[in-house]
Every structure is written in C-alpha cells, then in structure tokens.
Amino acid sequence: MISFENDYIQGAHPEVLKRLTETNLEPLSGYGTDSYCESAREKIRRECGCPEAEIHFLVGGTQTNAVVIDAMLKGFEGVAAADTGHVAVHEAGAVEYTGHKVLTIPHHSGKIDPGELKEYLEGFYQDANHEHMVFPGMVYLSHPTELGTLYSRKELEEISQICREYEIPLFLDGARLGYGLMSSDTDVTLQDVAQLCDVFYIGGTKVGALCGEAVVFPEKAPRHFLTSVKQHGALLAKGRLLGIQFDTLFTDNLYFDISRHAIERAEELKRVLQEKGCTFAWESPTNQQFVILEDSTVRRLKEHVVFSFWEKADETHTVVRFVTSWATRKEEIEELSRMDFS
C-alpha cells in the first residue's frame, strides 16, 4: 500500500531527527530562549531579508492561526478570509472559540480577489449600521491555498495595499509555504512575503519537521505576544524542540531543497494522472493535485493506494486529493502509474 494522503504522514527529515538526537542531553534554557532557537531566528531573518523581524515558534497550524489572530484583533473585530480558507472550514471553529468571527469572502480557485476584497471593505464602512457589526480587523490568506493554488506577486501587492489603506494587518498562513515558493509557476519569493505581509508563518509540520511553525513579524509583534501564546496553552517549555528543527531546516538550504523535491514528485504525479485520463477539478501548481474520479474507481483504487476525499462532484463522481511531500519517493509514483484507473 502506497500513500498520497497528505504531506504529514511521515515523521521528520533524517537530518532533523539526527540533530534532535545529537543535542538531546545538552542542557538548554526553556520557552524558546535557547541558543538553537536564536540561531534559527537569525537564519530565518537572513532568508526573509528582515534583520529586525520578531520570530516565535509554535507547534501546529490551527494553533498558530488561532493565537496570531486572537493576539492581533480587538474584541469587536473579525478576520476576513476566503470561504475555502482553512480558518473558515477545517479548524473546528478555533478562531471563533477565541471570540472572533471569520468573515468569509467568496473564493476564486481558493483565492481572495483583490477587487472583491476592496468592495467588501468599502461596503462595510458605507453601511450606516457598521458600528453595530463585527469589524473586519485582519485579512487572512493561505499560500499555497487549500486548493493548491498560488497568489501572484501582483495579487499580493494589491491585497497588501488594500490592507494598508484600511489599516488592518495582512496575515499569510504558510503551512505549505515551502511548496509554494518552489513551484515552477510562481513569481513570489520569501522576501516578497516578508515585505508585503504584517505577519506570516513558515510551515514546518508539513515540510520536514516533526512539528512546528515559525511565526514571523517582519517589523514588530503585538505587545506581550509571548504571554498571549502562553495564555493559549501554546508555549512549549522545551522550546528547543522547535528551535533545533528550524535551525536544521534553514541550514544548507535544506528547507528549500526538500520543498523542491515535493514539487518535482508532484509534477511526475500530475503527468501520471494526465496519462490515466483523469479530469482535474482545478489547476494546481503545487504538491496537492485534485482529480474527479468515478466512485467505482475510488473504491477500487483504495485497495492499493491511500488518498483523501475532498468533496462530491455529483451523484456518481468524487473529487479526491493526491499529495506529495518532502518524503515522496519516485518508486511510489511509478507504482501508481501501474494501477488501473479505468
């Protein structure tokens, strides 16, 4: 049985495990104050081109989204997101649990359209009753999106400009950021993300780490952000576990190399699915590929390969997702190519 279920089915890259083992008995200070956390911060600052950036390490994506959003919003504010956005769909109401509403905007291939965002904000403030409503206090994007699609630099620039016009922060969810940056169909760099966003995070959980997300505030974090992290139960006493992983991932280009590996496997996967005559639900230039299969084909394939349900296409067809990662092997793609999709 081979698996393309998601990009966190394996543990961690061998180099990450090696460094965790090598440093295991080294006594280090807690809560992210150790030398490895600081080394990781310096390496990330250099890659982002932000020497003054504040960087914090959290454990997972949903946790990070909830903490960042809650720390940056006032009690009467919500966060604007695409209606397919992770915070709106697959986080079990984690943001709402903190007391903030997710304000959804119709998506276009998983993305927010800059023009429609501006219309939404203009419409809100033109409403004579807006003082009685939840204010849009932040814009949330994911890059890549939940549908595997990517924002162009122009789109990010336009959204960033709108956010600055309305004096609200732009937050970019980078759970799969490495895969977006290494796509052959992108003009967005890590430096662009740092320049255009008020806060973003570099995903580790899905890109070679056992767990962990690096939250980057290019200029300044909210006051007492660390205290907010702890209030949410999200501050690891053994912060070293995250610092060592990110220090390793940002040594010798490892984060980018393993992200490129996933994209190369995804391109091979895409060719196999095309050769099998699969209909793609939408175009994705990253490590997630979505195809429409007959339900009978889904049942038969599940006996030999693991993939994930996405949504029903109609009564007899289903959209399913195949995902590659830093650990996907060529042999797995070749085995899939020998399977019957008819």
Give 104-170 as a DSSP string.
EE--BTTB--HHHHHHHHHHHHHSTTGGGS-EEEEEEEESS-TTS----HHHHHHHHHHHHHTT--E
Which residues are paired to 170 by β-bridges? 139
**pLDDT tens per residue across span 5-20:** 999 999 999 999 999 9
Which residues are paired to 289 by β-bridges? 322
Confidence band of 23 (pLDDT split at 50, 70, 90)? very high
| Average pLDDT in the chain | 97
Q: How many helices (H) and strands (E) does the chain have?
A: 14, 13
Confidence band of 246 (pLDDT split at 50, 70, 90)? very high
Say if strands 317-323 and 288-294 run parallel, antiparallel, or are unpaired.
antiparallel
Residue 176 scores a pLDDT above 90: yes
Among candidate residues 279, 274, 287, 288, the one with its CA nearest the CA of residue 321 = 288
Task: Classify domain 14-253 by CATH number.
Answer: 3.40.640.10
Q: Please give the model's pTM, rounded to 2 decimal places.
A: 0.97
Helix/strand/coil percentages in the chain, nearest 5: 40, 20, 40
Phi, psi of 9 (to 5 degrees): -85, -20
Return the pLDDT at 342. 80
**pLDDT tens per residue across span 34-93:** 999 999 999 999 999 999 999 999 999 999 999 999 999 999 999 999 999 999 999 999
Residue 99 scores a pLDDT above 90: yes
Among candidate residues 86, 83, 90, 133, the one with its CA nearest the CA of residue 113 = 83
> Is residue 15 within 8 Å of residue 248, measured between CB atoms?
yes
Return the pLDDT at 61. 97
SS3 290: strand
Which residues are paired to 173 by β-bridges? 142
Domain boundaries defined on the chain:
2-7+255-337, 14-253
Residue 337 scores a pLDDT above 90: yes
The DSSP-derived string for 3-71 is E-S-S-SS---HHHHHHHHHTTTS---STT-SHHHHHHHHHHHHHHT-TT-EEEEES-HHHHHHHHHHH
**pLDDT tens per residue across span 181-215:** 999 999 999 999 999 999 999 999 999 999 999 99
- How far is residue 32 CA from its own chain's centroid? 22
Return the pLDDT at 279. 97
Task: Classify domain 2-7+255-337 by CATH number.
Answer: 3.90.1150.10
